[in-house]
Amino acid sequence: MKLSTALFFALLAGPALAQTGIIRGRATTNGQPIEFVSVGVAGTAFGTSTNARGEYEIRHLPLGSHRIQFSAIGYAPVSKMVHLTGPAPQTVHADLRETVASLDEVVVTGTMKEVSRLESPIPIEIYTPKFFQKNPTPSLFDALQIVNGVRPQLNCNVCNTGDIHINGLEGPYTMILIDGMPIVSALSSVYGLSGIPNSIVERIEVVKGPASTLYGSEAVGGLINVITKNPGKSPRLAVDVFSTSQGEVNTDVSVKANVGKATALFSGNHFHFGNRLDVNRDNFTDVTQQDRVSLFSKWTLQRRENRLASLAARYYYEDRWGGELGWNAGFRGGDSLYGESIYTKRYEIIGAYQLPVAGEKLVFSYSYNHHDQNSVYGRTSFLADQKVVFGQLVWDKQWGGRHDALLGAALRYTYYDDNTTGTRADGANRPQRTYLPGLFAQDEIALHEHHKLLLGLRYDYNSDHGHILTPRLNYKWAPDANNVLRLSFGNGYRVVNLFTEDHAALTGARKVVVREALKPERSYNGNLNYQRFLRAFGGLVGLDASAFYTYFNNKIVGDFLTDPDAIIYQNLGGHAISRGITLNTDFTFPFPLKIIAGITLMDVYQVEKYRGENQKTPQLLAPRFSGTYAVTYAFDRLGLSLDYTGSVNGPMHLPTQANDYRPDRSPWFSLMNLQLTKKFNDHWQVYGGAKNLLNYLPRYSLMRSFDPFDKTAFNGDGSPSAANPNGYTFDTEYNYAPIQGIRGFVGVRYTLSGGN
C-alpha cells in the first residue's frame, strides 16, 4: 500500500518537475521585421530562427533564468535575460542595430576559435546559404562560381570531374574542411566535392593564402571551411526541390528532432541527370549522366556550462559517366565505345567534445573518412581505397590580460591503395601508410586597443618526408570600427600524390611519366588586406581589397606539351609565382537594392633555366582577370525578389598539342544567371529563371572524338598515319567552361520553423 501510494504521488509530481516554459517575440530594426534572425538560448541546444514577420517561438524550455541571444548577418548581436516561472508564454522582443558590412559576424577558421570578423587578425570571407540561393545549384562545387577569386574548374570534358582554384592555384592547393576537420582531401579533392549539398551548410568561410600553421598540409593556396548547420537553430522541416529544362533534378530535405538532451538534424540530398545531350555534335555527352545521393546527420548534446559535444556522419554515393552517346555499362573498360565511368562511395564521421576540466577550455576533435573509388577511363581502370583517421586536442587559454593563446596536438593517419604505379614497388603492391603527428601554437597579442599581433608555429613529422616547420605572422591595425588593415606572412607545404589529386594523371588519353622522386612543395606567402566600411548614397558600402604574393619551390609541374601522348611530372627546377590584387565590394542602398561584386587581377607563372636563361611559362587555366557579381532587387509589396548573378573570365592558357588547330588561349566569356523568387508566406517560396543567359559554349572541346582509342592515329612504327599527319591524339583536357548552354529552371522551397 505504501509503495503504490508513493508511486501515485510520484506520477502526479512528475509533470510538475518536468514543467517547461515558452518564449516568443519579434526581431526588428527601426520597427521593421527581420527574417532569418538566429535566436538561441545560451548554454543549451535550444534555438530557432525568425520568420518573414520577424516572429519566433521556442518551446519546452526548462524553468529558470535564461540568456536569449539574437544574431543576424549585417546586425549587431543582442542578448536579453528572461526568467521562466511557469508554462505561460513570456515575450522577449529584440531591436537589432544594423552594422556596416557584417563586422560582427562570428568566424572560426582563421584562428580555430570564435571571434568577430572585426577582431580577427586574419581576413576571412563569409558566405551563407541565402547568398548561394541567388543562383540555386545542386552542390557546393557549383555554388562557388559566384565567389570572387574562387573558381570551380572542370578538368575533364568527358567525366566532368573538377576542383576548386583560389587565386589561380590548382585545386590540390585548396584545403576543404567540414566543421574545421580536414575531411575533404586527396581522392575527394577530385571526386568528392560535388557531393557536398547546400542543404547541410550554415555558412562557408574562405581564407586566401597559406594556412598550414593551423591546418597542416594542403592548406597552401587557401582553405574553405564548410560550417554545417546547428541542429538547435535549424528549421523543424526544410524542403528545396528544383529542376532545369535539360532534365536535372535536385532534392534537398532536412528534419530536426529532439531526443532527450540531444538535438538532431537529418538531411538528405539526391541529384539526378539522365539526358544524353550533344549540342556540339561530337558524338559525346556534353554533360555527365549522374545519380548522386548524400545523407547527413548531426547531433548536439546539451551539457553543463555550455560545453561542446557534437557528432556528425555523412554517406555519399555517386554513379556518373560520360562518353559516346551509345555507351552503356556493358562497354565499361572495353575499347568498342569510349566511356568514363565513376563509382564513388564515401563514409565520414566528424565529432568534437569539450573535456570537463573546470576553468579550462580543452576540445578534442576527431574525424574518420573512408573513400572507395571504382573508375574506368576508356580502357584504363582506377581502383582506389583510402582511409583517413584524424584526431586533434586544442587548449584555448587566455593569460596576462593581453595574450590569447592556442596550443594543439594533432595526428593524422592515411591509408591509401590503388591499382597504379603509385602503390607498387619491387613488383609488389605496397599500400601507402602515412603518419603525420603535429604540434602547433599561436598567440594573439593585444599590443594596443587598435593593434594586434598573431604569431604561430607548427611542427609536423611526416613518416615519408621527415620534419616540417611552418611559421606565420599576422598583424592587424583597426584605428576605428570602419577601417581595418591586416598584414600577413606565412609558409606552407604540401605532400603530393598525383593519382589522388590530379585527374589528368588518370585520363585514358595520355600515359603518365614521373621523372624523379617527388619532394614536398614549399611556399612563402605575403598578403596585405584593407577593409573600409562607410555610409554612402544613403546606404552602406563595404570595400575589401587585398594584394597577394606567393613564391613556390619544389613545385610539382605537369608537362602537357613535350609529348602529346604523355603527361610528364617532376619537381620544378626553378620557382613559381602567384601574385595579384583582388577587390570585393558590397553595396546596400536605402531602397531595396543590394549589389555584391568583385574582381581579381593575377599573374601566375613558373620560371626555369633553359639554355642558361630564365624562361617564364604561364600557368594553365589561370585567367589574368576574373570577376563576379550578384545584384538583388526586392519588390516588397509583391513578395518578389529578382537576382542577377554571374561571372566574367578573361583569357587563360590552355593545354594544347603540337601543331594544334585549337587556340592556346581561351576567349573572354561570361556566364550570367537570372532568378525571380516569389514568397507566399512564412513557409512557401517558388523560384525560377534561366542559367547561362548568353548561351555561351566553348567552341572546341574534344580532340579526335571520332577515334577516342587512337586506333587510326598512328602506324605500326609509332609514326603519324597518313590521315593524321600532325600526330594528334584523343584529348579530354582542353577545358575552360562548362559545355552546357542556356537552360531554364524552376523550384519550390518549404520551411517549417519553430523551436525545440
Q: Which domain holds residue 384?
A: 227-752
Give the H or E element holding residue 272. Answer: strand 262-273
- Give the percent of the chain with pLDDT over 90: 44
Decide if 403 is inside a domain: yes
Looking at 402-558, list the stretches that DSSP marks H as alpha helix, in order from N- to C-terminal side. 498-501
Decide if 642 is inside a domain: yes
Whether 755 and 62 have beta carbons less than 8 Å apart is answered as: no
Whether 454 and 474 have beta carbons less than 8 Å apart is answered as: yes
Mark whether 459 and 322 lie in a shared domain. Answer: yes
Task: Compute the distance between CA of residue 478 and CA of residue 434 in angstroms, rounded to an integer.
Answer: 43
Pairing mode of beta strands 47-49, 115-116? unpaired
Residue 228: which residues within 8 A CB-CB, separation 6 or more? 178, 179, 200, 201, 202, 296, 298, 312
Indicate which CATH number applies to the domain containing 65: 2.60.40.1120
For 697-707, how does the pLDDT look when each residue is reduced to its tens digit (9 = 90+)? 998 889 999 99
pLDDT at 496: 64
Query: What is residue 231's DSSP assignment?
Result: G
Cell numbers at 619, concatenated: 600557368
Mark whether 234 and 94 lie in a shared domain. Answer: no
Whether 407 and 456 have beta carbons less than 8 Å apart is answered as: no
**Residue 54 one-letter amino acid:** G
Task: Compute the distance between CA of residue 62 and CA of residue 19 in angstroms, rounded to an integer.
Answer: 7
Decide if 541 is inside a domain: yes
pLDDT at 188: 66
Task: Compute the distance between CA of residue 196 and CA of residue 143 in angstroms, rounded to an integer.
Answer: 10
Instruction: Out of 98, 122, 137, pick the residue that ends a domain.
Output: 98
- b vs e for 403-422, b when ≥16 Cβ sit within 10 Å of the residue's Cβ? ebbbebebebbbebbbebeb
Instruction: Out of 98, 116, 140, pick the residue that ends a domain.
Output: 98
CA-based R_g, the chain, Å: 27
Whether 647 and 143 have beta carbons less than 8 Å apart is answered as: no
pLDDT at 13: 42
Task: Compute the distance between CA of residue 643 and CA of residue 670 in angstroms, rounded to an integer.
Answer: 16
Measure the CA angle with vertex 344, ends 339 and 350; round to 5°. 160
Indicate which CATH number applies to the domain containing 625: 2.40.170.20
Cα→Cα distances 267→294, 680, 686, Å = 8, 24, 21
What is the SS3 assignment for 488-505?
A: EEEEEEECCCHHHHCHHH
Mark whether 236 and 374 lie in a shared domain. Answer: yes
For 650-687, how does the pLDDT look when each residue is reduced to its tens digit (9 = 90+)? 999 998 888 899 999 999 999 999 999 999 988 999 99
Whether 679 and 671 have beta carbons less than 8 Å apart is answered as: no
Mark whether 577 and 435 lie in a shared domain. Answer: yes
Instruction: Out of 49, 82, 98, pick the residue that ends a domain.
Output: 98
Q: Show the low-confidence residues of the chain (pLDDT under 50).
A: 1-17, 100-104, 508
Decide if 58 is inside a domain: yes
pLDDT at 610: 74
Task: Compute the distance between CA of residue 132 and CA of residue 674 in angstroms, rounded to an integer.
Answer: 13
Residue bearing cell 590552355: 654
Decide if 192 is inside a domain: no
pTM here?
A: 0.82
Residue 11: which residues within 8 A CB-CB, separation 6 or more? none
Decide if 112 is inside a domain: no
Residue bearing cell 555561351: 696
For 381-395, how does the pLDDT look when each residue is reduced to its tens digit (9 = 90+)? 989 899 999 999 999
Whether 115 and 123 have beta carbons less than 8 Å apart is answered as: no
E strands, 308-463, where? 309-323, 339-354, 361-377, 380-399, 403-418, 424-425, 428-429, 432-448, 451-462
Decide if 173 is inside a domain: no
Work out how many domains the chain is built from and give that number: 2
- b vs e for 360-387, b when ≥16 Cβ sit within 10 Å of the residue's Cβ? ebebebbbbbebbbbbbbbebbbebbbb
Cα→Cα distances 24→60, 61, 191, Å = 12, 11, 45
pLDDT at 340: 95
Mark whether 93 and 232 lie in a shared domain. Answer: no
Cell numbers at 500, concatenated: 589522388
**Residue 181 one-letter amino acid:** M
Cα→Cα distances 628→227, 642, 675, Å = 23, 17, 16
Cell numbers at 293, concatenated: 545521393
**Residue 613 one-letter amino acid:** E
Decide if 348 is inside a domain: yes
Cα→Cα distances 669→287, 582, 692, Å = 19, 19, 11
